[in-house]
Amino acid sequence: MSVRTRFAPSPTGNLHIGGARTALFNWLWAKKWNGKFVLRIEDTDRDRSSPEFEESIKRDLKWLGLEWDEGPDVGGAHLPYRQSERLSLYLEILKKLKETDYVYPCYCTPEELEAERKEQLSRGMPPRYSGKCRNLTEEDRKILEREGRVPSWRFKVPQRDGRIEFHDEVHGTYALSYSEVGDFIVMRSDGIPTYLFAAVVDDHFMEITHVIRGDEHLPNTTRQLLLFKALSWQPPSFAHIPMILSREGRKLSKREGAESIDDLRQRGYLPEAVRAYLATLSWAVEGEDFLFDLNEMAKRFELSSISRSSPIHDEERLRWWGSEAIKRKDLKWLADVIVKMTSEGGLPVRITTEELAMLLPEALSGQATIVELLESLNWLFHRPQVHEAVPPWMRDLKAELSKLDDWNKAKIEDKLRAFQKRLGLKAREFFHPLRIFVTGRISGPPLPLIMEVLGKEEIISRLVD
């Protein structure tokens, strides 16, 4: 059987680094085995799901290079791929469950359940469903329904000793006692299935072979296994990857380090950098070159080498991957992007893509993002605002340079050095202020190169005296 994995986000927010890493691992595992990567939209939370989030998630996945073989927009053999469009299927399966007596209607209202939970907690009891609707008679049910109550449907968790056990690809054996699991709702009173149920049904019919997801689902898996068993379905393999924690060591939240992929893109990170960074959280690998190529990454990917402890999101390390990715990028490509950005930004373009590509090797110095790269090059597009005192030799230098006809970096450098020596200045005493007047910056590519690129006229006008 060929490998099929899925990424099943709920469209209740943007794709953030945690979800992106889950998607990445699923993609890698499918591709490693020449299998299929399925995108499934889990929009069963009607209150919080929105089409806008679905769109942004898809856009961000594509940006990361994680294209899906089956899913919304691209179709596939298991249509539809949005849970809200699969409602009749869940109803059908629920019917089976009813017939085999694996579920029962629960007439408790959310308010009653909440009160019950509070009560249990205050008495130091585990907050679990009491099972009070489990043994209702037909007569009881009729009475409750006459009151206008619409039931939800709960799964009858076997009341027995022992534990529900399964093998997890990263955690090894995981087990939970039956007595720890309360009867859980599979179908809400409004006819919408819960995640626990819908995911099981979909994973079965979509023939998912490996469920790779965050380890917050570890306890849930036992419930889902119960469902698989009740339906006589073969469950997939499970791999629960540790969830990324914030700098403070807490679960990622909007307030704490839950960076959205959208945000990283807008800040100018390259997708391969984000991917490589995400991959190395929990995945220990030797070498790093292959991390920039998705297919190479897939070849080397191993579920068994994923570590069990939660990594902490670290911007410093993301930045390092960012600069590595830029360094490896084709110069022409980089130049193209920069030129495009400047023209879109309405900046005067004083340089051709080819010229820029030649300049780039000297200009690259640890910028983590394209935005930073552009920033570091802004002397190309703006005359600097210099507030420093004009050195006394500036007027002479200007005159000297005006006489230089052969305007290339070698000649410029000769001129500059001769001038500096004649003045009796140390190199830094001369070049440093000159750089500031030419670029407004205290660092950058070699000055003669900058001067050649900017052109004689531009340089003369920047050397205010």
Partner RNA sequence: GGCCCCAUCGUCUAGAGGUCUAGGACUCCGGGUUCUCAGUCCGGCAACAGGGGUUCGAAUCCCCUUGGGGCUGCCA
Q: Which parts of 348-387 interact with RNA (CB under 7 A)?
A: 364-366
Q: Which stretch binds RNA (CB under 7 A): 37-45, 329-337, 344-352, 394-402?
A: 37-45
Q: Find the binding residues for RNA in span 314-353 (CB under 7 A).
A: 314, 316-317, 319-320
The interface mask with RNA, positions 194-213, x = CB under 7 A, is xxx--x--------------
Establish if 45 lies at the interface with RNA (CB under 7 A). Answer: yes
Which DSSP string corresponds to 240-257?
A: EEPPPB-TTSSB-BTTTB
Establish if 109 lies at the interface with RNA (CB under 7 A). Answer: yes
Ligand-binding site membership of 142 (annotated): no
Which DSSP string corresponds to 37-63?
A: EEE-B----TTT--HHHHHHHHHHHHH
Question: In which element (H, E) is residue 363 found?
Answer: helix 353-363
Q: Find the binding residues for RNA in span 51-90 (CB under 7 A).
A: none
Q: Find the binding residues for RNA in span 218-247 (CB under 7 A).
A: 218-220, 242-243, 245
Among residues 181, 241, 233, the alpha carbon closest in space to that of 207 is found at: 233
Establish if 262 lies at the interface with RNA (CB under 7 A). Answer: no
The one catalytic residue among 95, 118, 142, 254: 254
Task: Rank residues 111 and 139 by Cβ distance to RNA and give the closer one.
Answer: 111
State yes or no: is 132 an active-site residue.
no
Task: Rank residues 9 and 71 by Cβ distance to RNA and give the closer one.
Answer: 9
C-alpha 458/C-alpha 347 separation (Å) is 16
CB 189 within 8 A of CB 150: yes
Omega prior to 80 cis, within 30 of 0? yes
C-alpha 123/C-alpha 253 separation (Å) is 31
Please, what is the minimum distance in Å from the beta carbon of residue 151 to RNA? Answer: 7
Please, what is the minimum distance in Å from the beta carbon of residue 293 to RNA? Answer: 18
Tell me if residue 67 falls in helix, strand or coil: coil
111 CB neighbour count, 10 Å cutoff: 8
Task: Rank residues 50 and 307 by Cβ distance to RNA and give the closer one.
Answer: 307
Establish if 138 lies at the interface with RNA (CB under 7 A). Answer: no
Structure tokens given for 145 = 């329904």
Q: Applying CB under 7 A, what is the total number of residues that bind RNA?
A: 85
437 CB neighbour count, 10 Å cutoff: 19
User: If you search the block for the tokens 């006809």, which residue do you land on?
Assistant: 405
Establish if 284 lies at the interface with RNA (CB under 7 A). Answer: yes
Pick from 74, 432, 461, 464 the residue near RNA by CB under 7 A: 432
DSSP 82: B
Task: Rank residues 344 and 388 by Cβ distance to RNA and give the closer one.
Answer: 388
Residues serving a catalytic function are 254
